[in-house]
Amino acid sequence: MSIRHAVVGTTLGDLTLVASGDALAGVYFPHHWTRPDRTALGDEVTAEGDRVLTQAATELHEYLAGARRTFDVPLALDGDGFQRRVWALLTEIPYGATTTYGELAARLGDKALAQKVGQAVGQNPVCVVVPCHRVVGKGGKLTGYAGGLSRKQLLLNLEEPSEVRLF
CA distance 75 to 128: 13
Pair 96, 160: CB distance under 8 Å: yes
Distance CA 124, CA 118 (A): 10
Are 19 and 49 contacting, i.e. CB atoms less than 8 angstroms apart? no
- By three-state DSSP, how is residue 44 classified? strand
Distances (CA, A) of 90 to 8, 44, 93, 147, 165: 24, 29, 5, 17, 15
Please state, in angstroms and rounded to a whole number, the distance separating the CA atoms of residues 44 and 106: 41
Q: Write out the catalytic residue numbers.
A: 132
Dist CA 75 CA 52 (whole Å): 10
